[in-house]
Structure 1
Amino acid sequence: MRRPHLLLLVFALLPSSARAHDIPNARVDRSIQIHLRPGRLTADYEVSLSELTLTRDLRDLIGALPDGDRRDWLERYGQETALLNAKGLLISVDGRPLPLQARGFDLKTEEHPQYTFHFAVAIPPRGRLKVQDTNFVSSEGTSRLALRGEEGVVLRGDLLPADVQLISVQPLWLMSDLEERRSKQAELDYHTATHVAPTKAEPTPIVPSDRVRKPVVSVKPERTAPSRGSDRLSRLLDRSSGFSLLGLTLIAFGLGAAHAIQPGHGKTLVAATVVAERGSWLRGTLLALVTTATHTGSVLLVALGLWLTRSSRYELIHSTLTMIAGFVIAAIGFWRLGRHLGGYGEHDEDPVPLTSSSGGHRNIVGLGVVGGLVPCWDAVALILLAEAVGQLRIGVVLLVAFGLGMAAVLIAVGWMAARCRQFFTRFDRDARVEHWVGVAGSLVLCVMGVYLLGSP
């Protein structure tokens, strides 16, 4: 009766279908809401991007980031790009270009930064209007464009939805050529149906980037711990959080433990290896430490590579490392499965013990290296952001604490797997349960490796 229960226990640890690591994207999503009023056009230009992409773009614009907390350089990005986005959103009436004037921006920072830039320009009472967004042409992000006539302005021609919220968000590869064009440009006639005296507005000269209206940030000013979200690690770099270095280190340790509890992240590898190797909790501890050390080193190497090459091909890096790890894990799993089914290692008189000292430790180290090969992209972003704001030493300290939190969870998993194995094999006089436990653990390694090979 013990054999089915043990198999269920081991296979319950199989990796879930969810990604173990959220991959950052280099895309920029835009939503453009145009308002036409008598004598005036205004545009609300919304930009949504990852913090890692934001940091890389800001470094290209100004070099070193400002010496301040996280909100300082989030605000600086809006100041630097407001005029650039206004220049890239082309407005013309009857073929005459009308340069937009930047009026300011609002900033929200929930799961990722989201800017809403406010532009305006004076327009004649009637004419043929053309709108074209030429910003972020190399980005694979989504784009939406809506145009609304208000206060007596009538539109005719290539009509778009009046409200950008009515437009569904679609990736570019799902759009037809017409849909893609309409997401970035429009051309139509307009006129004012009834005479409405335009409200005299204050002059809106183009201002230097450091004088663009200060954004309204949605982050509460109180001193709170970093909240959930893809950027939670980077929020540890915010000096306004009010935590000491020790406090930030403890928070990073807790985030590492919470990160390891999520699907994937080495728990299956540790448990399956302890079961398949007839390992003790000490071997599980060794595997956990090697996995964590490799994971930390992988984060540093990937961050260094991205910094040196200025590459944004995160998906390719992730897929390549995942396939390498999957191939090695599957190869070791099938090799061990063959030895178990071939009868090696079931008795003391076997010529090549399955858990010989040298071979066993080589397997442990090898599995630990490939198990930690795929980096946590939150941690990669932490290192890149820390370097950008001049806090690299603090970033490395937080990364090490993050890794130790992961190691604590993996060590606990290895200890529990070893205890379960001892419990189920305690009264196994003829070594049958021992045999099938090894087979089950090897099968888990096989399935895990094949899954990783197919997941990219």
Structure 2
Amino acid sequence: MVLVLAALAVLMTPATADAHPLGNFTVNHHHAITVHPDRVDLVSVIDLAEIPTLQEQPAGHVGYADRECEAVRRGLAVHVEGTGVAVALRSASVEFPPGEAGLATTRLTCALTAPANLGAAATVEVRDTYRPGRVGWHEMTATGDGMALLDPPVPATSSSDELRAYPDDLLSDPLDVRAVSLRVQPGATAAGDTSAAPGGGTLLASATRAFTDLVGQRDLTPFIGVLAVLLSLLLGASHAALPGHGKTVIAAYLAGRHGTARDAVTVGATVTLTHTAGVLLMGLAISASSALAGESLLRVLGVASGMLVTAIGAFLLHSALQRHPVAVGHGHGHGHGHGHRVGRGGLIGMGVAGGLVPSPSALVVLLGAVALGRTWFGVLLVLSYGLGMATTLTLVGLLLVRLRDRLAAVERLRDRFTALPALTAGLVLVVGLGLTARALLE
């Protein structure tokens, strides 16, 4: 009840900045192409989320717009009928809108032009290679001024309001348009498509925004500090319960391997320590190097987590198949000694896998607190976040152990539980393979 009341109180507080809907590591691109009879104009907007902006701050803001727009210019290739044309930079400007946890974001706007003789029908190609390795939204639009676009493959208007408001239905599968080929001819301007207005966020997203806004407030009162800690516990618990992480499935394995309450607590504690250490180390690495791509590091950690889960699942499945089936009950002739329980190393390994990938929200909170000179508060919130995750995992483990024992007490169901260790080990193996594949494909 305390956590719920704290969350409601925070959600009723006006937010000062929105969370970046595509994630705090993203670098997002929008290129508006306008084809004229004598040239091709481009307005390129680059939106850097909180983490890339923080990493590039040591370079200073003086001359930043000109330097980065020059890099954008070098990354754009324009071809007319297969022949490359020179792209020139006309103007450059930059803004730093507020983001999460008191951190800034970056909005870079570059106006460019490329001369072209388009007195007859032609093909105009535009390709974007600026920062190709960074994840994010990649969007292109095209219109004609005195030129008609014939069945253009891209819309005339931006579906994201030029990277100001991303549509909710595309957040899970962001646009990735990095090149376009346009058939043009002299004539009236073709009509463009319109895009649907983006919708609102979820309750959990609103809670996350409120949480990071609390951290970013200049005046940290005891009341706000306590609310932030309570909400970090709630968000950590919610994060552990979200689908796709594999944490609750790993905890469920305890129910099939004669796990005890102590085993469930061990997994939860290991998750907390691993997640907290991971956030602190990654925050230190990002602060120290502007060249480190945070999303690439998260992908590597995701693959490592999936492989660790896979290895544990494979080992436990082999172990279960090598042993004779043993009932879970406590009756005579059904001994289930400690040899059939999960080993301490396996429990710790499952906890490490569950906490190995740091939460981006926790990382942003830490960096925001450091930027405001409150490193101790950021560490406290990261620890609270990890404790919330551990609480969910521990409760799930305890619940499953209790449920298993009750079901095993029913004599007629006892025989069905002899295969449970192998089944749950197989489930852990499948989940590990899925986590590895998903991390590799991201």
From 269, 273, 278, the counterpart of 1:298: 278
Do structure 1's residue 248 and structure 2's residue 213 form an aligned pair? Answer: no
1:361-409: per-residue Cα shift (whole Å, max 9, x none)? Answer: 4443343233333333333344345445543322211100101111221
Change in CA separation of 1:278 and 1:86 when aligned onto 2, cut-off 3 Å: closer
The whole-number CA distance in structure 2 between the counterparts of 1:377 and 1:435 is 41
The whole-number CA distance in structure 1 between the counterparts of 2:430 and 2:125 is 53
Size of the aligned set, in residue pairs, is: 371
The whole-number CA distance in structure 1 between the counterparts of 2:114 and 2:300 is 48
Change in CA separation of 1:148 and 1:360 when aligned onto 2, cut-off 3 Å: closer
From 418, 429, 435, the counterpart of 1:435: 418
Match in the other structure for 2:253: 272
Change in CA separation of 1:338 and 1:131 when aligned onto 2, cut-off 3 Å: closer
Amino acid aligned to 1:165 = S
Q: How high is the TM-score relative to the length of structure 1?
A: 0.61
Match in the other structure for 1:365: 348
Q: How high is the TM-score relative to the length of structure 2?
A: 0.63
Change in CA separation of 1:143 and 1:298 when aligned onto 2, cut-off 3 Å: closer
Amino acid aligned to 1:271 = A
Do structure 1's residue 171 and structure 2's residue 176 form an aligned pair? Answer: yes
Change in CA separation of 1:48 and 1:229 when aligned onto 2, cut-off 3 Å: farther
Are 1:333 and 1:442, in contact at CA under 8 Å, matched by a contact in 2?
yes
Do structure 1's residue 101 and structure 2's residue 91 form an aligned pair? Answer: yes
Amino acid aligned to 1:380 = L
1:143-194: per-residue Cα shift (whole Å, max 9, x none)? Answer: 4444545xxx62489997682438998536xx7xxxx265xxx999999xxx
Are 1:24 and 1:52, in contact at CA under 8 Å, matched by a contact in 2?
no
Match in the other structure for 1:393: 376
Match in the other structure for 1:425: 408
The whole-number CA distance in structure 1 between the counterparts of 2:372 and 2:219 is 16
Shift of 1:413: 0.8
From 130, 140, 144, the counterpart of 1:136: 130
Are 2:232 and 2:385, in contact at CA under 8 Å, matched by a contact in 1?
yes
Are 2:43 and 2:111, in contact at CA under 8 Å, matched by a contact in 1?
no
Amino acid aligned to 2:176 = P
In the TM superposition, what are the counterparts of 1:293-372 in structure 2 within 5 Å? 293-308=273-288, 310-312=291-293, 313-314=296-297, 316-341=299-324, 343=326, 354-356=337-339, 360-372=343-355
Are 2:97 and 2:106, in contact at CA under 8 Å, matched by a contact in 1?
yes
> What is the DSSP-based 3-state SS (H/G/I as helix, E as strand, rest coil) of the residue aligned with 1:311?
coil
* Two-structure CA RMSD over aligned residues (Å): 5.3
In the TM superposition, what are the counterparts of 1:73-92 in structure 2 within 5 Å? 81-88=64-71
Change in CA separation of 1:190 and 1:370 when aligned onto 2, cut-off 3 Å: same
Change in CA separation of 1:321 and 1:234 when aligned onto 2, cut-off 3 Å: farther
In the TM superposition, what are the counterparts of 1:13-32 in structure 2 within 5 Å? 28-32=27-31
Change in CA separation of 1:325 and 1:298 when aligned onto 2, cut-off 3 Å: farther
Q: Which stretch shifts more, 398-407 or 235-244?
A: 235-244
The whole-number CA distance in structure 2 between the counterparts of 1:137 and 1:421 is 52
Match in the other structure for 1:54: 53
Are 2:118 and 2:185, in contact at CA under 8 Å, matched by a contact in 1?
yes
The whole-number CA distance in structure 2 between the counterparts of 1:314 and 1:440 is 33
Shift of 1:254: 1.1
Amino acid aligned to 1:260 = A
Shift of 1:80: 6.8
Are 1:155 and 1:190, in contact at CA under 8 Å, matched by a contact in 2?
yes
Change in CA separation of 1:436 and 1:300 when aligned onto 2, cut-off 3 Å: same
From 268, 276, 284, the counterpart of 2:264: 284
Change in CA separation of 1:118 and 1:158 when aligned onto 2, cut-off 3 Å: farther
Unpaired segments of 5 or more residues in structure 1?
1-21, 63-75, 192-224
Answer 1 or 2: higher relative contact order, Cα 8 Å, separation at least 6.
1
> What is the DSSP-based 3-state SS (H/G/I as helix, E as strand, rest coil) of the residue aligned with 2:32?
strand
Are 1:281 and 1:415, in contact at CA under 8 Å, matched by a contact in 2?
yes
Match in the other structure for 1:237: 215
